[in-house]
Amino acid sequence: MQNAVFQFELKHWLRTPLLYFFLCCYFGLALLTMLGTGGYFDGPISSSAKVQLLNAPFSLTENSFFFAKALLFLAAMILTSSLMRDYKNKMHPILYTFPLSNGYYLNGKLGSGLAVLMLTSLFTFLGIIVGEIFLGTSNPKIGEFNLFGYLTMLGAYVLPTLFIVGSFVFVAVGLTRNAFAGFIVVFLFFLIHQMLQYISFSSPQALALLDPFGQYAFQWTTQSWDFQAKNSSTLPLSWVVVFNRMGWLLLAVFALGYYYFKFNFQFDPIWEFRKRQVAEKSAIAGIDRQSLRDSVVQFDFSFAGKWRSFFGLLWFDFRSVIGSWMFWLLSGFGVATVLFMQLKVTQTGDFNLLPFTRILLHGPLLLYTLILIFSTFLFSSSLVYKPKQHKMDALVDATPTNNWQLFGSKIGAIALVQLIQLALFFLLCVCIQLYNGYSHFEISLYAYHLLVLVFPLLLVWNIAAHFSHTLAPNIFLSLFLLIGLWLGSQSLDQFGIDTWLLKFNLRPDLIYSDLSGYGAGLPGYYLIAVYWLVMGGLLLAGIYLFWNRGSLQHFTERWTRLKSRWSPPVLGVAVFLLAALGWLGFQIHQQEAVNQSSNTAHNNRVEQLKLHKENWKNYSDLFLPKINNIDLQIDVFPSENRFELQGQYTLHNDTDQPIDTLLIRTGYDEQTTINLEGNAHLILADSALKSNLYVLKKTLAPNDSMPLSFEVRSMPNSHFSRNSGVLTNGTFLKHDILPRLGYQFYENELPHSDSLACKHNFYHRDADQVHLQTKISTSANQIALAPGQLITQTKKENRIHYQYKTTHPVKFNFSFHSGNFEVKKETYQGVNIAVYYAKGHAYNTQLMIDGIKAAFRYNTTNLGPYPYQQIRIIEFPHTEGEYSATIMANNVPSSEVLFAINSAAMEGKINLPFYVMAHELTHEWFGNQAMPASAAGAKMLTESLTEYLTLCIYTEHFGDKIALEFLKQQHKRYHRGRKREKSIEQPLSQVADHQQYIAYGKGAIVFNTLDHYLGRQKMNEILKSYLTKFGGHPGQYPTTSDFIQLMKSKTTADQHVLIDELLTGSAYYNNQLLSVKKATTNQLELTIIVEKKDGSAGPSISIETALFEVGQFDVDGRLLGTSVVLLSSGRNVVELDKVAGATSLVLDPNLLWIDLDWGDNRWELD
């Protein structure tokens, strides 16, 4: 039987022009996104670049989640509209008396809505296909057309998601008979999807299974895919994807079933949050008994009276929003989102932070603001459409209330609701801080951030929402347009539009640091915020002119009304606002134009470097002198965000050739003047790349020296670009402000056989270790710090002057600081340890000092002396580096993030403050004293060794169990990095500069395994020999080959196999403890699968025999004993003596080998 409801609804949609508007919108969105991502607007693309194919099944599905999410808002609109149409048009009293079954009626409604949605989604993906055709196969991002990829994406992800969310929308709207319920359901699905990320699941599959969009299931399925697989593999339907999709589809069907069962062709909604109380009919006798007495009330239409009325109306509207279930539901979700997110930040993440105000005002507030913006759209539409929806409009419109009172009170009410929600956020944050035992409440920071920065943004959205509701013919279109504007503005960059003038109500990111505040970006932020506020003012004028009052039938009536409201004051305000907008827009445009080159330099740094490499490569083989002595005078002016520097290098010709040419490159962000005192001619200058070529009048003979003087000034900050490294507090300048010699972009991966490799260190070709003397001054209320020992400190005219000098030659890695610091000091074995930190950041200073002391103890005992008399840890704002800390001579500049680590939530995690400081101090031996050659694998000799030694320090300080946790984290780190690898995995001895997961994660694992088999003493002996041989010998820098050779010289031949496998191979295992059975009373029979793979080539490697450990643990997780078993590739059956009290067995309990899945290496005994 044909479904008449379905046919009627479908015909209705096909006759609706709005549908075609949406089809065009989604088609256009998909097409433009595809073209934008494919670089269609960016000019020709290098075909040699290694890129991810956009039309490979992986990329198609990965990108389809964006489109599926965009389609969900349409789903809310279409399904709500279909279901509500009969109520809206008062057809339901008639239809409900027809002999229709629930299924017939609802199937027609749901089916037609889903059919329209499917049509729109097909148009969307047609847009992608057309984009693919436009880009063509000559585009390196486009591969062969893959129909199966499209079908898998639609069938497994997009269409099921539309059905799942669409069903819940349908049910929610049907049960509540509320037009907003659908939009709220969609938004809640978004929040659930987002919130799942912040929940700490015991199993990674749980996250994948619970995601309503299937996105995390897709990510789980493809988690081990490398670059090649992403471009060529078809998408498998893993069990996680199948269970995820089936589970949610079942839930959707259950929800529909419930609604189908409950639906009863009744007038009233099935769910009502408050039961109706029918008023008893009052007696009507005597209705005219009362005479109409003269009024005793006052009508006040004065100016003040109008404002009193305005606030009365505002309060009425405010009450109606606050009393709505929508408010409580969305606020509840907002609170839950913040709680889950902060839980991840402070308790359950890989590392946890204290709930500093700035931290809560960043991530959690960002998400909360999204909820507030969406709430604003919904609440404002509920207020604007409410009179019409409840047929009160004629009563209200005929009253002597001015238009501005009517719409102004609604805008005011929403603004008040926003303030309440911000206050709720504030209270929530305070509660979170209290819960975490943090009591440094920065009320003024909260107030400023929430009221001055966030509220104006919400206010403009508030006005924009009212403007949209005033102009749009219906509520759904208005919401759709608003959401489109909201999301569209954030995507403009993709289409090459990067001016703030067009990104509606967006502002630059403003990141707060406890040291430097909001920094130099604040004026630019204000400029843009005021620009959008003025735009809000114009929209307000638009609302005034177009506000619907009475019945409007056609455009001419709107025009007549507009003319009747157009008055000289309105004209005056509009002209003023337009002029202000124009002026502000011009200012923004000017700033953007002024900063264009600077922005380009910042944004296209890679391009700049590439250009530099190409333009100056001819000069890469120039013989150059080396910098060996540096004198600096730095004057820092924190309040003016600037510095002035005068310096002098002593250049020494270490080569056996006379030098007549100098290539000098200066800092990108500074103005530098080079003074060669008339000893040279400038023959080639490149101001964009800051490189100059000089010919010396007098050649520099071998072993001769010459001075090089220079002056450096910081560039002034502009509104949108921070050019100066000087901050109001926490200035952190590095050696990159200083001029450098020669071509700076040598490939690090020189082969070990290259004779040049050992001539230069990995870090700098123009310097070995240098002597540095720094005179640094700053404002009197700050402390200035530089490398070396403090020689003098004097105060003159509100400025304080320091003189520092290095007592030993140091690596050309310096930092200069100025800030209002508190200082914590300790002395350990004659060395002064000092932590310079911002007020209120003392939480982790002791842990840092402990890390320094532990590293000091281990390294000085086993490796050699520490050359300085002091070590300083200096805090810098996280805007200058999120997680970094680097040893620079005897200073360890550390990001303020390290000072915010929540030390109370470190169980099972790395003790970051301790670890970082131990790691950095260890670099003094491996990185500073022994610098590796400029050759492939250099980071093994710095980071891997340092990470291994940090593990040794960990073991010594915390014991084996905690050290094992540390090692576990290194395994995780390796696996995480490997998933993101876009090229072939190198062996540790050839590790590339960017392969951190190998240098750190695998490095720690490999050297720990060597330590396990060679012994700690042997390892220390090898490392000490290495330091002795290569430490402090400029021009004889070691490669990893040298290290391996030295290692082999200290070990036996059978150990060489292990050394080679671990350091020069890239094998990993996928082993499994398949089963454990009782062989006899005291014997266990273990079945173990061994699979060894080669990381660089892929296929399995056959092994004849290899030794593996099996550990036996008691119920408390204590290791009772370890047995060594001999295994070969494939299935192995071995027998072991059971240790009394053992409850579980673990293959490789000491985490000696890299295994793809540790989960299957454990067996619980009955």
Partner 1 sequence: MQLSIQQISKTYPNGVRALDQISLDIPAGMFGLLGPNGAGKSSLMRTMATLQFPDKGTIHFKGQDIFQDKIEYRKQLGYLPQDFGVYPKESASQLLDYFAILKGITSKKDRKIAVDRVLEITNLSDAKNKRVSTFSGGMRQRFGIAQLLLNQPKVMIVDEPTAGLDPAERTRFLNVLRRIGLENIVIFSTHLVEDVREICQDMAVINKGQLLTQIAPKEAVRQLEGNIWETTLPKEKQLAISNTLKALSTHYNDENELVTRVFASQRPSANFEAAPPKLEDYYFLTINQ
Least distance (Å) from partner 1 to the CB of residue 292? Answer: 6
- Which one of 1, 17, 43, 299 is in contact with partner 1 (CB under 8 A)? 299
> Which one of the spans 186-194, 300-308, 577-585, 955-963 is the region binding partner 1 (CB under 8 A)?
300-308
If one asks whether residue 830 binds partner 1 (CB under 8 A), the answer comes out as: no
- Identify the residue among 398, 688, 791, 1126 touching partner 1 (CB under 8 A): 398
Of the candidate residues 85, 247, 255, 397, the single one contacting partner 1 (CB under 8 A): 397
Distance CA(407)–CA(459), nearest Å, equals 14
Considering the rule CB under 8 A, would residue 394 count as an interface residue with partner 1?
Answer: yes
Instruction: Considering the complex, state which of residue 237 and residue 392 has its C-beta at the smaller distance from partner 1.
Output: 392
753 binds partner 1 (CB under 8 A): no
Query: Computed from CA positions of residues 384, 387, 388, 390, in that sequence, does the dihedral angle turn out positive or negative?
Result: positive
* Of residues 288 and 1054, the one with the C-beta less far from partner 1: 288
Q: Binding to partner 1 by residue 281, rule CB under 8 A?
A: yes
Q: Does 15 bind partner 1 (CB under 8 A)?
A: no
Q: How many CB atoms lie within 10 A of CB 173?
A: 26
Tokens 């270790």 -> residue? 769
Contacting partner 1 within 524-583 (CB under 8 A): 549-554, 557, 560-561, 564
Residues with Cβ within 8 Å of residue 916, at least 6 apart in sequence: 848, 851, 885, 894, 898
Query: Does residue 287 bind partner 1 (CB under 8 A)?
Result: yes
Q: How far is CA 174 from CA 98, 268, 826, in A?
A: 19, 11, 69
Nearer to partner 1, 280 or 1164 (CB): 280
Q: Which CB sits closer to partner 1, 265 or 301?
A: 301
> Interface with partner 1 includes 177 (CB under 8 A)?
no
Pick the closer one to partner 1 by CB: 51 or 181: 181
End-to-end CA distance of the chain: 60
Q: Which of residues 1077-1116 bind partner 1 (CB under 8 A)?
A: none
Give least dist CB 293 to partner 1, A.
Answer: 7
Alpha carbons 850 and 782: distance in angstroms, whole number: 27
Q: Where are the alpha helices (DSSP H) in 211-343?
A: 215-221, 227-232, 239-262, 303-322, 325-343
Select 108 or 412, whichever has its Cβ closest to partner 1: 412
Judged by CB under 8 A, which of 15, 390, 796, 980 binds partner 1? 390
At 371, list the tokens. Answer: 């909820």
Residue 747 CA from chain centroid, whole number: 30
Amino acid at 451: L
Q: Closest distance between partner 1 and the C-beta of residue 86, in Å?
A: 17
Complex with partner 1: residue 15 or 390, whichever CB lies closer = 390
- Strands ordered across the beta sheet of 1106-1113: 1119-1127, 1106-1113, 1144-1147, 1162-1164
Among 391, 1052, 1054, 1124, binds partner 1 (CB under 8 A): 391
C-beta of residue 1010 within 8 angstroms of C-beta of residue 1058: yes
254 binds partner 1 (CB under 8 A): no
Q: Backbone phi, then psi, for 56, in 5-degree steps?
A: -75, 150
> Would you state the torsion angle of the CA atoms of residues 434, 437, 439, 442, taken in this order, to the nearest 10 degrees?
-70
**How far, in Å, CA of 295 to CA of 312, rounded?**
21
How does DSSP classify residue 944?
Answer: I
309 binds partner 1 (CB under 8 A): yes
Residue 284 near partner 1 by CB under 8 A: yes
Please answer whether residues 903 and 844 qualify as being in contact, where contact means their C-beta atoms are separated by less than 8 angstroms: yes
Which is closer to partner 1, CB of 274 or CB of 980?
A: 274
Can residue 300 be called a binding residue for partner 1 (CB under 8 A)? yes
- Nearer Cβ to partner 1, position 310 or 637? 310
Interface pick for partner 1 out of 17, 44, 99, 286 (rule CB under 8 A): 286
Question: Is residue 313 within the footprint of partner 1 (CB under 8 A)?
Answer: yes
Residue from 97, 290, 444, 687 touching partner 1 (CB under 8 A): that is 290
* Tokens linked to 1092: 């060894």
- Nearer to partner 1 by C-beta: 312 or 959? 312
- Here the tokens at position 925 are 């031996």
Q: How far is the CB of 259 from partner 1 (least distance, A)?
A: 22
Give percent helix, percent strand, percent coil of the chain, each to the nearest 5: 50, 15, 30
Which of 400, 473, 678, 830 is in the footprint of partner 1 by CB under 8 A?
A: 400
**The one among 264, 277, 1049, 1081 contacting partner 1 by CB under 8 A:** 277
**Closest to partner 1 by CB, 62 or 317:** 317
Q: Are 140 and 39 in contact (CB under 8 A)?
A: no
Burial 646-682 (b: 16+ CB within 10 A, else e): bbebbbbbbbeeebebbbbbbbbbbebebebeeebee
Regarding 173 and contact with partner 1 (CB under 8 A), the answer is no
Binding piece for partner 1, criterion CB under 8 A, among 207-215, 295-303, 516-524, 1137-1145: 295-303
If one asks whether residue 1124 binds partner 1 (CB under 8 A), the answer comes out as no
Tokens of 475: 């509520």
- Does position 275 interact with partner 1 (CB under 8 A)? The reply is no
Give the CA angle between residues 346, 349, 352 to the nearest 5°: 40
Q: Which residues bind partner 1 (CB under 8 A)?
A: 274, 276-284, 286-288, 290-293, 295-301, 305, 308-309, 312-313, 316, 320, 323, 386, 390-392, 394-402, 549-554, 557, 560-561, 564
